[in-house]
Amino acid sequence: MENPLTARELEGYLTCPRGLEELSANQIVPFVKSVKPGRGGVKFIADLKGLYAVNLHSRTGMYALIKLCEITAENDNDLYRQLIEFPWFEWMAHDTPFAIRTRGNSRIFPNTNYFTLKVKDAIVDSIRRKTKRRPNIDRDNPLYSLVVFVDDKRVQIFLNSSGTPLSKRGYRSEKIHKAALNEALAAGIILLTGWQKEQPFYDPMCGSGTFPIEAALIGRNIPPGSYRKSFAFKKWKNFNPRLWNQLKEEGKSGINQEKLQIYGYDGMGENIRLATTNLNNILLKQWVKFKKQDFADFNPGDSGGIVVMNPPYGVRLGEDEELKTLYTSIGEVLKQNCVGMDAFVFTGNKEMTSFIGLKSKRRHILKNGKIDCRLLQYPISQGTYTD
């Protein structure tokens, strides 16, 4: 088996929130040799530079994985026998902490814990046989994080090149809004709305500011990975800093200074303070205007822009009445104050959407973690009536 870290072409898999596969594939087209959207991710072929570029530029990706090996195993012994032959030691030194997670199902390997243990034993023994030393397992801070996908006899082992998920851009303060959206999902939603940077962009329930901040990154063409210090691939033996710095410089040269009209409002001052801190953490103060404002007072006028909001879903008992009032007011305010705008509501509470009382033109089904969510589009024209 060829060592993929020295191979010219890497077989990659970029995971992403469900529903954003096509979008994720389109974004990485300029950096890779081929792409194929799947379920919850995108297959791609790239060289090392392409892999770095996917990590730097993907707005909707979560983890960029590369395939190290693929085998067909008949039983535990066969699995061990084949995996011990793979040259793990070429890139995982005896003192390199690593971790393994297993995904998938198999009738041949029904006990996932035992299966994972077998894979780990084969890797550890392979390295020990070569170096006479035993590598460390470190679940919390691994240098190499392996993901094993098993589907009956088929076993594929991937290496996570990103480390922490790419959605963690690095602008959030330690204090996190309890309902903050995953940044990759937020960016995907903005891209789905078709917002153009010349248009006004409003989030009247912005919480910690994820939509407005992601819109500013998109509008200025700032590579989403620009602010991250850490990527797993930077700690690998084969890390090529020249290639990485060149990519970062190329990314920087594409950033524009255009004026943007991005606005974020929230009824709670505490959230506005949080959003402002997050924005200031990446020095984008002049590109977004945050202010405390109740949704009832939202009135952007006919500015031909986009309104995107992520109202509370309400998971606790007794919140329903409050939510019905809020969702009813969404329809009212949009109808009265936002004629000429294209409005989008992203929510995980399907029942509540009927209280908006407007006819949606389009909807996208997306997953927010484990929650099934919808992004509903309401073009607001004069005389928009209910279903």
Ligand X SMILES: C[S@@+](CC[C@H](N)C(=O)[O-])C[C@H]1O[C@@H](n2cnc3c(N)ncnc32)[C@H](O)[C@@H]1O
Helix (H, G, I), strand (E, B) or coil at 120: helix
Residue 165 CB, shortest distance to ligand X, in Å, is: 15
**The one segment of 106-114, 129-137, 305-313, 335-343 that binds ligand X by CB under 6 A:** 305-313
60 sits near ligand X (criterion: CB under 6 A): no
How far is C-alpha 387 from the geometric centre of its chain's CA atoms?
34
The dihedrals phi and psi of 110, each to the nearest 5 degrees, come to -75, -25
User: Which amino acid, one-letter code, is at 74?
Assistant: E
Out of 295, 319, 332, 340, the residue judged to bind ligand X by CB under 6 A? 295
Out of 326, 343, 358, 366, the residue judged to bind ligand X by CB under 6 A? 326
268 sits near ligand X (criterion: CB under 6 A): yes
**The one segment of 71-79, 201-209, 215-223, 255-263 that binds ligand X by CB under 6 A:** 201-209
User: Based on CB atoms, which residue is closest to ligand X, 89 or 298?
Assistant: 298
**The one segment of 29-37, 62-70, 200-208, 233-241 that binds ligand X by CB under 6 A:** 200-208
Q: If you search the block for the tokens 């943007």, which residue do you land on?
A: 260
207 sits near ligand X (criterion: CB under 6 A): yes
Out of 180, 284, 330, 338, the residue judged to bind ligand X by CB under 6 A? 180
294 sits near ligand X (criterion: CB under 6 A): yes
Helix (H, G, I), strand (E, B) or coil at 92: coil
179 sits near ligand X (criterion: CB under 6 A): yes
What number of H helices and E strands is found in the chain?
Answer: 10, 14
**The one segment of 35-43, 61-69, 238-246, 264-272 that binds ligand X by CB under 6 A:** 264-272
Q: How many C-beta neighbours within 10 Å does residue 98 have?
A: 21
DSSP result, 220-284: TT--TTTT----GGGGSTT--HHHHHHHHHHHHHT-------EEEEES-HHHHHHHHHHHHHTT-
DSSP result, 141-165: S-SEEEEEEEETTEEEEEEESSSS-
Q: Is the dihedral of CA 53, 56, 62, 67 positive or negative?
A: positive
Q: Is the dihedral of CA 189, 194, 197, 202 positive or negative?
A: negative
User: Which amino acid, one-letter code, is at 95?
Assistant: D
Q: Which residue is nearest to ligand X (CB)?
A: 207
Residue 215 CB, shortest distance to ligand X, in Å, is: 12
181 sits near ligand X (criterion: CB under 6 A): yes
Residue 272 CB, shortest distance to ligand X, in Å, is: 9
Residue 203 CB, shortest distance to ligand X, in Å, is: 7
Cα 217 from Cα 204, distance rounded (Å): 19
Residues that bind ligand X (CB under 6 A): 177, 179-181, 205-208, 210-211, 266-268, 271, 294-295, 310-312, 326
